[in-house]
Amino acid sequence: GAVVSQHPSWVICKSGTSVKIECRSLDFQATTMFWYRQFPKQSLMLMATSNEGSKATYEQGVEKDKFLINHASLTLSTLTVTSAHPEDSSFYICSARDGTAPLHFGNGTRLTVT
């Protein structure tokens, strides 16, 4: 079945540094990928829609200059958290749809900013 791979699964960084998270669709091409954030004990909140070859579409309240999204190919989207702060600590999850099938989710990346 369709698989979405995320890397890294866990990262700790110092405040002020940047962190890049990769999301790959392993056996299908994804023109669109979605980035979600999940705070502890809360639901998944859509951050942005990543479109291959064009700019991402950000949800209201999500800073596009802080969360840089690049969708350079049909199988790879990256999320870069720039100048990370402790409040950015969260679980970041990407997902992609294989055609009209339900979304496939990556395993997520737990970001801890110290």
Partner 1 sequence: AQSVSQHNHHVILSEAASLELGCNYSYGGTVNLFWYVQYPGQHLQLLLKYFSGDPLVKGIKGFEAEFIKSKFSFNLRKPSVQWSDTAEYFCAVNGGTQAGTALIFGKGTTLSVSS
Interface contacts to partner 1, rule CB under 8 A: 30-32, 34, 36, 41-46, 49, 51, 93, 95, 97, 99-100, 102-103, 105-108
Nearer to partner 1 by C-beta: 107 or 114? 107
Nearest CA to 84 among 114, 46, 61, 59? 114
Smallest gap from residue 17 Cβ to partner 1 (A): 26
Nearest CA to 78 among 27, 12, 19? 19
Smallest gap from residue 44 Cβ to partner 1 (A): 5
- Name the CA radius of gyration of the chain, rounded: 13
Nearer to partner 1 by C-beta: 26 or 85? 26
* Neighbouring C-beta atoms of residue 74, cutoff 10 Å: 16
Nearer to partner 1 by C-beta: 81 or 93? 93
Q: For strand 57-58 and strand 4-7, is the pairing parallel, antiparallel, or unpaired?
A: unpaired
